[in-house]
Amino acid sequence: MMLKQTTLVFGALTACMSLLLCHGPARSTSQDMPYDWTVEVNTQQLERQFDYPGSTIAPVVKTELQYYSMAAPENKTKYEHIWYGNGKPLGLERLHRLDITQGDGISIRIVHKHNPPAYDEHKAAANAILRVLVDAYLNRSPVVSVRLPLASFDTIAGQLRTNPRINTAADGADRTVDSGVPIFVQSEPAGRTLQLYYFQS
């Protein structure tokens, strides 16, 4: 059942990406800020949640997603909560629809509530990024950048690359870069960047 749902979601994503690529580049607020919205993903490992002898769920990580316009960053809309157990999605609570104008560019930003973050927070962050990618492209809103904490950059980027549809240009050498949707990953503070590609097949 989970495989069927995953296939349907990525099928929809592929179709929407094709439509998006045909519609051309997104609008942007400025050259310095080439996106209109930020979707912020906050990660936190919960203490003692499902932590009992024989548990296959713990450790549990909660991600809180909210979004805001770069024109009014103080006005944040709570979007959804996703819980992860041992790096796998356990449940989702949708709080609001993704009320972002179609065609507007989006940046995904990862924030850890505690530093250093637990290892499973990296897994949760990578999975949440892919879920936001799906939601964004279903909305025909391109993801202009993915912003990661500098200390977590390599680990989260590594988790992203475990997805068979995501590669660097070198990894996808047997496939033309033109066939992939670019995902620009950068660190906060600045210093690290990585160009990934989502390949439709």
DSSP 135-183: HHHHTT--EEEEEEEGGGHHHHHHHHTTSTTEEETTTTTTS-GGGEEEE
**Sequence-distant (≥ 6) Cβ neighbours of residue 116 within 8 angstroms:** 151
Specify the pLDDT at position 2: 39
Specify the pLDDT at position 9: 43
**Sequence-distant (≥ 6) Cβ neighbours of residue 65 within 8 angstroms:** 39, 40, 41, 42, 78, 79, 80, 81, 82, 128, 132
d(CA 171, CA 173): 6
Q: What is the DSSP letter of 8?
A: H
SS3 19: helix
d(CA 102, CA 48): 41
Specify the pLDDT at position 58: 80
d(CA 103, CA 23): 8
pTM: 0.81
| Helix H or strand E encompassing 13 | helix 2-23
CB 145 within 8 Å of CB 185: yes
Half-sphere exposure of 194 toward its Cβ, with a 13 Å CA cutoff?
22
User: Where are the chain's structural domains?
Assistant: 2-199
Residue stretches of the chain with pLDDT short of 50: 1-31
